[in-house]
């Protein structure tokens, strides 16, 4: 009987928090994406980590766990494989996978903060992140101040004596603003706070915040990491062992974990992250070039443009500039809505980061919940998530939509 039970990889045995062993020093990005946390199954030789659809695990004697697995809220081998892979991709020692990006954020702030603590957030944060701070966290006694995270002085001015976290997204959603991660890490550390970077838009392939001094990286893996618009998930990655212990405790106590099926899908997506990101960037660069020549447009927001105010910082901290583009229509909201309603290949929808191109109107869609707040976005703004289709087809689709919208 005992021989039929799979042993697990050495890194998952014993400790409640395991440490990632494949690093940037030992292996390249794509090698880590394909192999980190994913040794061949020791029992069958299966090349892909199985979906361990099990809630509980045999104990060898009362209280004697086999290979450290007891109950799947606490730990599950499929989730563990994803967590080790994500840690390796961000060059962090510890990874945690959650049911969604917001579940990851919620668990993180409950781990780090207490009532009375204060968080500095971007003044154009992802709408759901803003809602979490504004409508949920404040009820539990947290306070926050939105700041222009492109400007270190504005962030410094927002700090209070209770600031525990400086929270940044870079590039931001949907305005594609750029924050200087190294400079803000310094600001946070000067006051004994931590810097959290939501790295969803860049993905670990384009930007590695921990190496720039950030303390924690957060992801909505729903986006580029999963990459196929077929699963919702989130992650937290950090280096610090004490924080990792606390995260493991809170992840288990709150229970907002990624299930084995979702973990498996996300891990499958992660394997191709590097090749997908290169193609997202290639296509986005071509589309940006096309958009900048159109009369209907008053501004193209893309950190790869040397006219972008964050271009220099982005060039310093990103490998390339990503697949997200926003632009403003000269004729205002009606024109913006018109373009969104007239594309055919670009699917009208929320979310981003999948292989298929998406288009949306942030003011009425993703960022509707920020209306009337300091995070309200311009009504003439259109956001596109450039997929990995043939770029000529994407350009033809945009061209047709620009013509048809009037
Ligand atoms: C989507 C998103 C989130 C929230 O993640 P979910 O997986 O939808 O919960 C957080 N931050 C950014 C930048 C996002 O785009």
Q: What is the pLDDT of residues 283-336, one digit of tens each?
A: 999 999 999 999 999 999 999 999 999 999 999 999 999 999 999 999 999 999
The 10s digit of each residue's pLDDT in 182-218 is: 999 999 999 999 999 999 999 999 999 999 999 999 9
Q: How confident is the model at residue 16 (pLDDT cuts 50, 70, 90)?
A: very low
Pairwise CA distance, residues 233 & 105, whole Å = 11
* Whether 156 is catalytic: no
- pLDDT for 145 beyond 50: yes
Same domain? 107 vs 248: yes
Greatest CA span in the chain, whole angstroms? 74
Q: How confident is the model at residue 166 (pLDDT cuts 50, 70, 90)?
A: very high
CATH number for the domain spanning 279: value is: 3.90.1150.10
Distance, CA 13 to ligand 1 centroid (Å)?
32
Nearest atom within ligand 1 for CA of residue 105 = 10
Look at residue 375 in the predicted model and tell me its pLDDT.
74
* Whether 316 is catalytic: no
Question: Catalytic pick from 73, 131, 294, 364?
Answer: 73
Look at residue 370 in the predicted model and tell me its pLDDT.
76
Nearest atom within ligand 1 for CA of residue 172 = 13
**Token match 């394997």: residue?**
271
Cβ atoms of 292 and 305 within 8 Å: the answer is: yes
Say yes or no: CB of residue 101 within 6 Å of ligand 1. yes
Cβ atoms of 222 and 350 within 8 Å: the answer is: no
Question: 53 φ, ψ to 5°?
Answer: -80, 75
Nearest atom within ligand 1 for CA of residue 201 = 13
Residue 195 sits in which domain range?
86-270
**Least confident span in 14-28, 86-100, 123-137:** 14-28
Pairwise CA distance, residues 137 & 118, whole Å = 10
By the 10 Å C-beta count (0-12 exposed, 13-18 middle, 19+ buried), 154 is classed as middle
Pairwise CA distance, residues 77 & 116, whole Å = 37
Question: Catalytic pick from 57, 69, 126, 224?
Answer: 126
For range 160-184, the mean pLDDT? 96
Q: Among 270, 286, 308, identify where a domain stops.
A: 270
Q: Tally the domains of the chain.
A: 2
- pLDDT for 366 beyond 90: no
Distance, CA 311 to ligand 1 centroid (Å)?
24
Residue 7 falls inside a structural domain: no
Q: Among 239, 270, 301, identify where a domain stops.
A: 270
Segments of 291-400 assigned E as strands: 297-301, 324-329, 347-348, 358-360, 381-385
Residue 96 vs residues 56, 212, 226, 325, 368: alpha-carbon distances, Å: 19, 20, 15, 29, 30
Same domain? 228 vs 286: no
Say yes or no: CB of residue 129 within 6 Å of ligand 1. yes
Cis peptide before 2 (omega within 30 of 0): no
State the chain's mean pLDDT as an integer: 93
Same domain? 285 vs 397: yes
Distance, CA 43 to ligand 1 centroid (Å)?
37
Q: How confident is the model at residue 12 (pLDDT cuts 50, 70, 90)?
A: very low
Same domain? 100 vs 235: yes
Same domain? 256 vs 356: no
Nearest residue (CA) to ligand 1, atom 1: 220
CATH number for the domain spanning 195: value is: 3.40.640.10
CA atoms within 13 A on the CB side of 353: 29
Calculate helix-pair angle for 391-404, 273-291, nearest 10 degrees: 40
Residue 281 falls inside a structural domain: yes
Cis peptide before 363 (omega within 30 of 0): no
Nearest residue (CA) to ligand 1, atom 4: 101
């Amino acid at each position: 009987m005992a021989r039929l039970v799979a042993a697990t990889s050495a890194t998952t045995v014993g400790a409640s928090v395991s440490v990632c062993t494949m690093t940037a020093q030992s292996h390249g990005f794509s090698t880590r994406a394909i192999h980190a946390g994913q040794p061949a199954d020791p029992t069958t030789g299966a090349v892909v980590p199985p979906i361990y659809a099990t809630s509980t695990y045999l104990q060898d004697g009362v209280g004697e766990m086999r290979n450290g697995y007891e109950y799947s809220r606490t730990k599950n081998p499929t989730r563990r494989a994803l967590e080790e892979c994500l840690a390796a991709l961000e060059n962090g020692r510890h990874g945690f996978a959650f049911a969604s990006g917001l579940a990851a954020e919620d668990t993180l702030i409950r781990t780090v903060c207490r009532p009375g603590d204060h968080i500095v957030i971007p003044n154009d944060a992802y709408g759901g992140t803003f809602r979490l701070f504004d409508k949920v966290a404040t009820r539990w006694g947290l306070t926050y101040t939105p700041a222009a995270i492109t400007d270190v002085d504005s962030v410094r001015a927002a700090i209070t004596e209770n600031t525990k976290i400086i929270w940044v997204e870079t590039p931001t959603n949907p305005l594609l603003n750029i924050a200087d991660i190294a400079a803000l890490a310094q600001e946070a550390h000067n006051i004994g706070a931590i810097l959290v970077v939501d790295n969803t838009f860049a993905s670990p392939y384009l930007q590695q915040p921990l190496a720039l001094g950030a303390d924690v990286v957060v992801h909505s893996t729903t986006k580029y990491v999963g990459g196929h618009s077929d699963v919702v998930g989130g992650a937290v990655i950090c280096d610090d062992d004490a924080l990792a212990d606390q995260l493991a405790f809170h992840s288990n106590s709150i229970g907002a974990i990624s299930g084995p099926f979702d973990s498996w899908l996300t891990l499958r997506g992660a394997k191709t992250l590097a090749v997908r990101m290169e193609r997202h960037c290639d296509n986005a660069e071509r589309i940006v070039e096309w958009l900048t020549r159109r009369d209907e447009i008053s501004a193209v927001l893309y950190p790869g443009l040397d006219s972008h105010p964050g271009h220099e910082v982005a060039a310093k901290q990103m490998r390339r500039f990503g697949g997200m583009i926003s632009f403003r229509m000269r004729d205002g909201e009606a024109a913006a809505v018109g373009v969104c309603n007239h594309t055919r290949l670009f699917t009208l929808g929320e979310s981003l980061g999948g292989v298929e191109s998406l288009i949306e109107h942030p003011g009425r869609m993703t960022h509707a919940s920020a209306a009337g707040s300091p995070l309200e976005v311009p009504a003439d703004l259109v956001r596109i998530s450039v997929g990995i289709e043939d770029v000529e087809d994407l350009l033809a689709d945009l061209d047709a939509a620009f013509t048809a919208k009037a």
